[in-house]
Structure 1
Amino acid sequence: MGTIKMRIAIVNDTLIAAEALRRVLVTVPEYDIAWIAGNGAQAVEKCARDTPDLILMDLIMPVMDGVEATRQIMQKSPCAILVVTSSVTANAGRVFEAMGYGAFDAINTPILGASGNSQTGGSELLRTISKVARSIAKNNHNSRSPTAGPKSRNSPLLAIGSSTGGPQALVTLLSALPVNLSVPVAIVQHIDAEFAPGLAQWLSQKTPFSVSVAIAGRPLEPGKVVIAATNDHLVLQSNLTLKYTKEPLDYPYRPSVDSFFYSVAQYWPGKGVAVLLTGMGKDGAKGLKVLRAMGWHTIAQDRHSSVVYGMPKAAAELDAAVQILSLEAIGSACLKHLL
């Protein structure tokens, strides 16, 4: 599959950073620079007049920062937004706020070399842009559904899939659950492996739960909340422990909600509740449908409360969700069918 053509905008108040981004982009003939803005307010105005395929959004800027600009753009003229900041780690709180408003991912700003070439971080930026391009492309890869094995009565499970806008949606959902919840909770959020530990820590600070990254070889435990933590797919094994797998290799969403839902349908020895939250694309919809067919209570977030109505829309179109609910109503619905 060749490089997907994209019109990309740059939002950065630092000239040398904007130039570093420009020099990375011009190395790919399929990437056209739509416009450049020096702060978030300019970006909101320019985006309303000329919405690009992707915005490379700085976080710390005068007049209007990248978090507020992301919020306004996703409300008024939505498009894919990639946060590009001097240090993702140092700005983790703001990064996850921006992702809560709809930013796709975050990456460190490339640095111009002494010769004027922006080599440090440039290739990583291009890989991330390619990932964004594949995710927003119209042609989504299909995954095969596994054949479900026999089931017996056992503890229920809460399985959650989310993508664009997911971090803040996860805060709202988890905050609506009691801290003494006695069922396992597993989350698959589309996020690069580098930022998964930070997201787990951020969710632990924002919700009543201590959220940890899912570790291969460990079982899902009652009362524990885990989140997928690599660029491979998190799946459940026949012995009820977790593992990460590269397959399917060609699936654009990593980690894949579908892959996790399929494995749960195949191996989890009880039933439970599966939730598909806000996100771009269609990942998770087919897996949700498989779980519904097996008697799980399945929920998709509604259009109004979704930052991006992609994944839950796909679920609604497949009739994969027993309920389509506002974000604020999902927590209580989960409890009703878990306890």
Structure 2
Amino acid sequence: MRIGIVNDTVIAVEALRRVVAKVPEYKLVWVAYDGVEAVSKCLADTPDLILMDIIMPSMDGVEATRQIMTQSPCAILLVTASVNRYAAKVFEAMGYGALDAINTPALGNGQQTEGSTGLLNKIATIARLIGKSSPPRSHQPDYYQESLSPLIIIGSSTGGPQALATILAQFPQDFHAAVVIVQHIDAQFAEGLAMWLDEQIPLSVQLAIPGTSPQPGKILIAGTNHHLVMRSDRTLVYQQQPLDSFYHPSVDVFFKSVATHWKKPGIGILLTGMGRDGAQGLKLLREAGWHTIAQDAKTCIVYGMPKAAAELEAAVEILPLEAIASACRRKLFSSK
């Protein structure tokens, strides 16, 4: 695969160059030191993939991405000093067609480049996406299933906060699974929900911050009006697409991203709520080997989302609210 590097920092360019050189199938075709040069070089010689910095003089990575995707489109991976710090620009560049983002690997002493594994994984994923041959596994360290903690993901809507409190209160403080929740609630109330749940249950509850990963014993809640999604490196981010989704955040969008990127099957739960959001995502999880649970009609405030899941046969179990936590503990214990 032919790769171009765009970065105004010599040290960063060298770090990226060394990462690319680790895989014989990857060929560095050119280096540009700002967006203007990148647009020009891409017009003359369009690579398969560009590793694009965000903050640069003359023309930043956002505008460079926009122009390249208009004039000579190719795959673009944003590689910048801090994805979290420049999140607004990262999302803007993704709106113009950039595929993903990751922090720039650090160039340490000697020939070692710290943080190269994540970048190599992303490059390999993009190579498969655009139809280029993936490198041999010996050159592409991956996240092994055994290293992933047990994961529980929950979608809920009308009546969800109390239902969540009922389930989460039954998990002990030393609970070894990670929990991520998408609740249909406006962003201005999300922090209040997290604080309220944190007071009700033994485990720590926080809003999901872009770039963080699910961790055992911690509960993360979607905290913006954009969709919470999991990326290929198992970190969580927010994105506006798909815009036509009725709910923002959408349970379906989150469930589908997890089914794609969290390779160790966990537990997916769909709770009370109006509409059908989450049903298709729950079905994808079940097809991927996850243990899926839908709340039953009797204990739902609104039997909409779980009903849709039941109609699709997306749920392995349909349970009353009070039985869901014990089912999770039983499933996690049996899989240890």
Structure 1 residue runs of 5 or longer lacking an equivalent are: 1-146
CA deviation after TM superposition for structure 1 residue 155, in Å: 2.2
Structure 2 residue runs of 5 or longer lacking an equivalent are: 1-128, 130-142
Aligned to 1:260: 254
Q: Match of 1:164, SS?
A: coil
Residues 163-190 of structure 1, C-alpha deviations (whole Å, 9 max, x = no match): 0000000000001112211111000000
Map 1:72-111 to 2 at 5 A. Answer: none
Residues 184-216 of structure 1, C-alpha deviations (whole Å, 9 max, x = no match): 100000000000000000001111222100000
Larger radius of gyration: 2
Residues 232-259 of structure 1, C-alpha deviations (whole Å, 9 max, x = no match): 0000000111100001001011110011
1:198 is aligned to 2:192: yes
Q: Considering Cα pairs closer than 8 Å and 6+ residues apart, tell me whether 1 or 2 has the greater RCO.
A: 1
Map 1:216-227 to 2 at 5 A. Answer: 216-227=210-221
1:295 is aligned to 2:292: no
* Normalised TM-score (structure 2): 0.56
Aligned to 1:283: 277
Aligned to 2:321: 327
The residue identity in structure 1 corresponding to 2:271 is L
* Normalised TM-score (structure 1): 0.55
Residues 34-87 of structure 1, C-alpha deviations (whole Å, 9 max, x = no match): xxxxxxxxxxxxxxxxxxxxxxxxxxxxxxxxxxxxxxxxxxxxxxxxxxxxxx
The residue identity in structure 2 corresponding to 1:229 is G
Residue pair 2:150, 2:176 contacting (<8 A) in 1 also: no
Aligned to 1:269: 263
Superposed structure 1 runs of 4+ greater than 4 Å apart: none
Q: Match of 2:145, SS?
A: coil
Aligned to 2:300: 306
CA RMSD of aligned residues (A): 1.7
Residues 260-302 of structure 1, C-alpha deviations (whole Å, 9 max, x = no match): 1001000013111000000000000000000001110000000
Identity %: 59
1:160 is aligned, of 154, 170, 183, to 154
Distance 1:151 1:221 in 2: 16
Residue pair 2:149, 2:215 contacting (<8 A) in 1 also: no
Residue pair 1:232, 1:255 contacting (<8 A) in 2 also: yes
Residues 136-180 of structure 1, C-alpha deviations (whole Å, 9 max, x = no match): xxxxxxxxxxx9xx9834322000000000000000000111221
Aligned to 1:211: 205
Q: Match of 1:249, SS?
A: coil
